[in-house]
Homo-oligomer: A and B are copies of this chain.
Amino acid sequence: MTEEIVVVEGDGIGKEVVPAAVSVLEAVGDFEFVRHDAGDAVKEETGEALPRETYDAVAAADATLFGAAGETAADVILPLRTAVESFVNVRPARAYPGVDALRPETDIVFLRENTEGVYSGHEDRLSDDLSTLTRVVTTSASERLAEFACDYAPEGFHVAHKANVMRETDGRFRDAVTGVADEKGVETEEVLMDAFATHVCLDPEQFDVVVCPNLAGDVLSDLAAGLVGGLGLLPSANIGSDNALFEPVHGTAPDIAGEGVANPSATILSAAMLLEHLGYDEEGTAVREAVESTLSDGPRTPDLGGDASTEDVTEAIIDELD
């Protein structure tokens, strides 16, 4: 049976790194790729950054590989995360041998709540002077995340929050997450999100898996990206009960878009997460290892100090797979 994968390249280097990842996927399995559009270019053409048919296709697919969107990023990626009903955004941040990193010992996976917090989208303009945003935290979403976290990290995890200030909402988050973990006998350690920001710089090795609310996950995973050498290497997975969407953490990199020198590693690592999600564990591991060995002694794109093209790097990774 041929598995169907929806592919949304988006804008900028999305149009270069997604095809690179697709050719890696083609090298390890028999997939049918169904292409859909989203992003700035589509908006320019049609007035809509996220066409209904793209949304519907992503919602119906088992798995989607997404690149990046430009100015319209939030209009594209937030609804797409909703389309796959993804309750967790899995964001591994690790340094790779041979890649310049501020803290090479960093190896942290963020499990970011992916549906609520300040992302719930309720904002009001109450007067000429005052606007409000309604931050939402539910026990059900927090528990769903915690169950995933307990499966993902049975050896225990950190819970980052700001419950000393957001007592009711982050208090609810913390209680729900630690409650599920306690029931399952999984150890948790709490850390305030501001304290985490200091401590991860001083001693990243103390953190392994970090469960956090939506915006905390956004900022703290980008911080970890800074410690491992930038966003160019970070994959991510938006996991729902029935389907999932995989995307590099980086954006469209307008400064280098179109030049064929974008680093495809983050998207290919996202494709590895996609393979594992679909049950192709061996293939997923093989792809990840091929990326790692190419990063450590293969051709390099300019962001890593080399002068190889996206294609050179992709070919080297595919060669490693054989």
Chain A residues near B (Cβ < 8 Å): 73-74, 78, 102-103, 118-119, 123-125, 128-140, 162, 164-169, 171-172, 193-195, 197-202, 215, 218-220, 222-223, 225-227, 229-231
Contacts and interface: CB of A to CB of B under 8 A. Distances in A.
A140 B129 contact: yes
B202 A230 contact: yes
Contacts of A201: 102, 201, 223, 225-227
Most buried by B among A103, A134, A201: A201
A99 B140 CA distance: 46
A171 B131 CA distance: 10
Contacts of A138: 129-131
Given A194-B218, A194-B219, A231-B198, A125 B226 contact: no
Given A103-B102, A194-B218, A194-B219, A169 B133 contact: yes
A169 B128 CA distance: 12
Oligomer copy total: 2
A132 B139 CA distance: 12
Contacts of A135: 118, 132-135
A135 B123 CA distance: 9
B133 A198 contact: no
A198 B169 contact: no
B165 A78 contact: yes
Contacts of A118: 135, 162, 165-166
Nearest to A223: B197
A215 B213 CA distance: 14
Q: Which of A119, A162, A225, A226 has the most CB of B within 10 A?
A: A226
17 contacts: A74-B165, A78-B165, A102-B201, A118-B165, A125-B172, A130-B136, A131-B169, A132-B169, A134-B135, A165-B215, A194-B218, A194-B222, A195-B222, A198-B222, A198-B225, A198-B231, A201-B201
